[in-house]
Amino acid sequence: MLKIKKIKLRDSILLDDLSLVFEEFSFDHFCVIPVEGINSKYYNEDFSNVLKISFVFNKRIFLDDNELIEKNDIFADIFIIEKDLISWFNNKFGIDKFRIIEKENVFRLFFNCLSEEERDFRKEKIFISDSAKIHEGVVIGNNVFIGPNTIIYPNVVIYDNVYVGANVKIHSNSVIGADGYGYTEKIEKIPQEGGVVIKDNVEIGACCCIDRATIGYTYVGENTKIDNFVQIGHNVKIGKNCRIVSKSGVAGSARIYDNCIIAAMAGVKDGIRIGPNSILAGASMATKNIPPNTIYAGNPARPFNQYFKELAKK
């Protein structure tokens, strides 16, 4: 099961910011979770004994889309929000629902919190179902769960903090849970503390890379099929019954909802949404949100009919 990093409150740079709420919260540790929350069933954790904090430092958050992927049951106790975003956050979600601390330079605070302690999963357990089949040359890190009837083919590498469900197939030379591509403007590496969740009946082709989340988890929904040579970035969430074809790439924090097709050599920009039952045609680049039940093509991607009318004019 996944592991989440806990940080001692008394040693934290957040101590002064949280002093006003200590009367209500009496925890010794806190952890950082995504704004959209996490699902406790993937974690070997007792979250009742840790203060949960989320940071809001840009508008690329997904507090309103949980039902489309999987209902989350744990959310932050405290939201630390960039002052410039308070009005936007209030209009979108309503601040009365949350305990909020306003700050400046929230990203730097988030970065410093993730940097406060090194990850250490050396003592964590690995669970592999008796009915799973692990081929030769497979490398499995710590804090990994592999469910029943799953097949891991030769030379797959599964890093720490990965949950793999039942009846999953991961083909040769794929890498699950490597660090996400996250750097500051000064090219400082942003710690990648999260994990990967792969649900039941997923198939992942050869030579694919699915990156761990910065916090929380990168998520691949039930019965989704991923072709060879596909890159899935950190904190991406992919719904059920999707098909993602060879040499396509999905950048960090994008959302691909149920029953979508991402055709060969297509690209999905970071942080955008591909609505359910939609198709992104081959060699297309999605730079903006794509509505449900549509077909988009081209670079930048636009409605299929519009794209081919433009080609005909040329």
Catalytic positions, written as ranges: 234
Strand partners, 210: 176, 232
Which residue's entry shows tokens 């509505």?
291
How big is the chain by its Cα radius of gyration, in Å? 20
Supply 74's token pair: 């744990």
Q: How far is CA 275 from the centre of its chain?
A: 17
Helix (H) or strand (E) holding 313: helix 304-313
- Rounded CA-CA distance 302/273 in Å is 14
Beta-strand pair 29-32/7-8: antiparallel
Which residue's entry shows tokens 């049951």?
73
Is the backbone peptide bond immediately before 276 cis, with ω within 30 degrees of 0? Answer: no
Sign of the alpha-carbon torsion through 194, 274, 150, 208 = negative
How many Cβ atoms sit within 10 Å of the Cβ of residue 32? 24
With CA atoms as reference, report the closest residue to 148 among 162, 128, 134.
128
What is the SS3 assignment for 15? helix
Q: What does the DSSP 8-state code read for residue 143?
A: S
Largest separation between any pair of C-alpha atoms in the chain: 68
